[in-house]
Copies of this chain bind each other. A is one copy, B any other.
Amino acid sequence: EDVERASGTANQGEGPYADEPTRHPALIKNSETPCNAEPPLNLLADNFLTPNGIFFIRNHLPVPRVDKQSYRLHIQVPGKEEPVSLSLDELKTKFRPVKVTATLQCAGNRRNELNSVEKVKGLTWGSAAISTAEWKGVRLRDVLTYAGLPESSFLNFDDPYATQHEQDSQTVRHICFEGLDKDPEGKGYGASIPVSKAMNPCGDVILAYEMNGEELPRDHGFPLRVVAPGHVGARNVKWLSKIVASPQESDSHWQKNDYKGFCPSTTWDTIDWDSSPPIQEAPVTSAICDPEPHAIVDRDDEEITLRGYSWSGGGRNVIRVDVSADGGKTWEVAELDEKAKKQPNGQAWAWVPWEANVKIPKDLKFDKEGKAELELCCKATDSSYNTQPESPASVWNLRGVLNNSFHR
């Protein structure tokens, strides 16, 4: 399948969804309006950089139609009377362009496996709500410095619990983003990241206008989006219209009352959204992309080749992926992609593809046709030696986010 050339069909939405972009036919849609779609898992493993056409799409609202010429980015920094306003041309010429290769993952990736424990609330994502691109844009740090935020602001560490303290203080601790995608009341999608990430010289947060060498596609935030590498997809605000440097985090629904994890025992009756910090950095994860975890083998097969991805948030690199054909009783070490595994630790923003030739277990029980089902699974370890939990039950949460249990 040529994912680059296939042109797809335009979405036949209505009302606010009447002007959605054309989408690649290979995408598997979890919802049409807004569009939420992921590629087939085996296609994902074919490329280190996911082709734009099959890069997973996670929209919360209708895709806005943005005019490149009249587009302005507004930036507010406390203590500055006038907000700064920049055209796309000004952004591209006033600041040095940089490229960052980064993986984005939806917090809901692999939610389907949580439903097998107990039903959760949310779109039923498979394991492909994750993709990688080379993003081109300008450093958020440069833009904020230009707008008057001191370069040393990255030292203002985030304290997720000190709400009162933050309200009393004028210290900038969060960078809030707003998108041009509007809800029925006209409020845009919003999210924020800590200033310690946004202004950090090692944080590599950019405002991107290109994706894999092409102008940013409409589904991915044309003409400008945030790429906050190592952070969950939801903070990488698309169709960016406004940046506010603030003592407080975004008051958006998606920051305050969504995209948070909870104890497996927390219910919709007992949930206290303020008790959990918003998801920012993502935990270590991995998946087998090809074949399916319950692959069928023949009596004559001696080994099977697996391909998959591994990734960790916060710039932590993956140092090892272990694979098993017997449900985790015995393990073999996968071969990590040579180039990806050499990403500098602390700035390892892209996933690490892996491959493994796994021996077929000798004690497998074959049926009359000489077939047997494998119990494939994988787990990754990152540079902080964090690993994945064995089962979805222990990370189960009512909102169904961040399932990073063994992929099986």
Contacts and interface: CB of A to CB of B under 8 A. Distances in A.
Nearest to A157: B344
Contacts of A408: none
A194 B316 CA distance: 13
Contacts of A281: 316, 383-385
B331 A283 contact: no
Contacts of A314: 314, 384
Number of this chain's copies in the assembly equals 2
A112 interface: no
A344 B384 contact: no
A104 interface: no
A402 B383 CA distance: 12
A265 B383 contact: no
A334 to B, nearest CB: 10
Interface in A152-207: 154-155, 157-162, 194, 196, 200-202
A181 B394 CA distance: 44
Interface in A326-354: 328, 330-333, 341-347
How many A residues are at the interface, by size bracket?
35 or more
Contacts of A383: 160, 277, 280-281
A21 B389 CA distance: 42
Contacts of A317: 160
Interface string A359-386: 0000000000000000000010101111
A330 B396 CA distance: 11
A2 to B, nearest CB: 34
A391 interface: yes
A388 B126 CA distance: 23
A22 to B, nearest CB: 35
A357 to B, nearest CB: 14
Contacts of A330: 264-265
Nearest to A332: B265
A145 interface: no
A162 B342 contact: yes
A333 B128 CA distance: 31
A200 B395 CA distance: 33
A202 B155 contact: yes
Given A196-B202, A264-B322, A265-B331, A395 B384 contact: no
Contacts of A162: 342
Contacts of A155: 201-202
A26 interface: no
Contact of A391 (B157, B265, B284, B390): B390
A331 B379 CA distance: 24
28 contacts: A155-B202, A157-B202, A157-B345, A157-B347, A158-B345, A160-B317, A160-B383, A194-B346, A196-B202, A196-B345, A196-B346, A261-B385, A262-B320, A263-B320, A263-B331, A263-B332, A265-B330, A265-B331, A276-B320, A277-B345, A280-B383, A283-B385, A283-B386, A283-B387, A314-B314, A384-B386, A387-B389, A387-B394
